[in-house]
């Protein structure tokens, strides 16, 4: 199954997102409020009190992640674009995932061509790479190998992020990048939306190939900039 994400539809999502944002934040707040209320009961065992306390903290954390992810999407992309070597950027992004991968028995293998010159904001693009790799790692509950391949071909730089995880159905692939689409308990379903947006803003695209039970490959393709053509 090979499916190119329909990026143009995702442009309309900001309005949809604004509408659902209030609703999404209200959920954890209502639940947290309920537990705080229950903690006022006089004849509450210490054990129950601790459970309620933890529930409140979890719900507040969830509200916090929704707000953070939403902000990184809604914030206008004023950040400066720089001439970057995607190889160096990927290697630095992977440093952030060292422990995360090790704890999940995932080995990361890289095969990156030298001088993958692109124009991007380093922080934003790093955030995308980290996010896609983290999703790949999380899709392999029993561990496995995450491969990152970077190459340049006919004025396009491509970065493949390939996992051996649970994969997705065609329908699930189609829902990627839709606000709040998540199959993970602690997920917000905003990460992929932010990722698509960032790549789109630098004239790039993301393609997804996935097979259930086998794994997923995300391919980021960006215009390649050779230093001589960069002014």
- Residues near ligand ADP (CB under 6 A) are 135-136, 139, 163, 165-166, 168, 176, 181-184, 187-189, 191-192, 216
Helix (H) or strand (E) run with residue 84 in it: strand 82-85
Residue nearest to ligand ADP (CB): 187
Nearer to ligand ADP, 84 or 204 (CB): 204
Nearer to ligand ADP, 52 or 196 (CB): 196
Measured distance CA(191)–CA(13) in Å, rounded: 14
Least spacing, CB of residue 148 vs ligand ADP, in Å: 13
The encoded tokens of residue 112 equal: 């990156």
Nearer to ligand ADP, 127 or 139 (CB): 139
Least spacing, CB of residue 205 vs ligand ADP, in Å: 17
Measured CA distances, 21 to 56, 67, 118, 164 (Å): 20, 9, 33, 33
The encoded tokens of residue 219 equal: 């391919």
Nearer to ligand ADP, 10 or 87 (CB): 10
Nearer to ligand ADP, 32 or 173 (CB): 173
Least spacing, CB of residue 9 vs ligand ADP, in Å: 16
Measured distance CA(197)–CA(192) in Å, rounded: 8
Measured distance CA(178)–CA(188) in Å, rounded: 11
Least spacing, CB of residue 22 vs ligand ADP, in Å: 19
Measured distance CA(29)–CA(25) in Å, rounded: 7
Least spacing, CB of residue 228 vs ligand ADP, in Å: 36
Residue 93's Cβ-side half-sphere holds a number of Cα atoms within 13 Å equal to 24
């Amino acid at each position: 199954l090979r499916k190119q994400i329909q990026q143009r539809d995702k442009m309309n999502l900001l309005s949809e997102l604004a509408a659902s944002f209030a609703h999404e934040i209200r959920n954890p707040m209502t639940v947290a409020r309920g537990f705080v209320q229950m903690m006022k009961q006089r004849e509450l065992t210490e054990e129950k009190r601790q459970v309620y306390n933890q529930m409140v903290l979890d719900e507040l954390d969830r509200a916090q992640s929704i707000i953070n992810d939403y902000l990184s999407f809604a914030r206008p992309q004023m950040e400066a674009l720089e001439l970057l070597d995607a190889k160096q950027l990927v290697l630095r992004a992977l440093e952030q995932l060292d422990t995360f991968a090790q704890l999940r028995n995932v080995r990361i293998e890289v095969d990156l061509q030298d001088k993958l010159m692109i124009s991007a904001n380093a922080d934003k693009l790093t955030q995308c790479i980290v996010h896609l790799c983290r999703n790949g790692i999380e899709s392999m509950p029993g561990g496995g190998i995450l491969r990152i391949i970077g190459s340049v071909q006919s004025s396009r730089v491509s970065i493949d992020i390939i996992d051996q995880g649970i994969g997705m159905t065609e329908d699930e692939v189609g829902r990627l990048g839709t606000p709040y689409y998540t199959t993970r308990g602690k997920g917000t379903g905003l990460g992929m939306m932010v990722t698509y947006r960032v790549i789109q803003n630098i004239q790039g695209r993301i393609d997804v190939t996935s097979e259930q039970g086998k794994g997923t490959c995300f391919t980021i393709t960006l215009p390649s900039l050779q230093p001589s053509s960069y002014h």
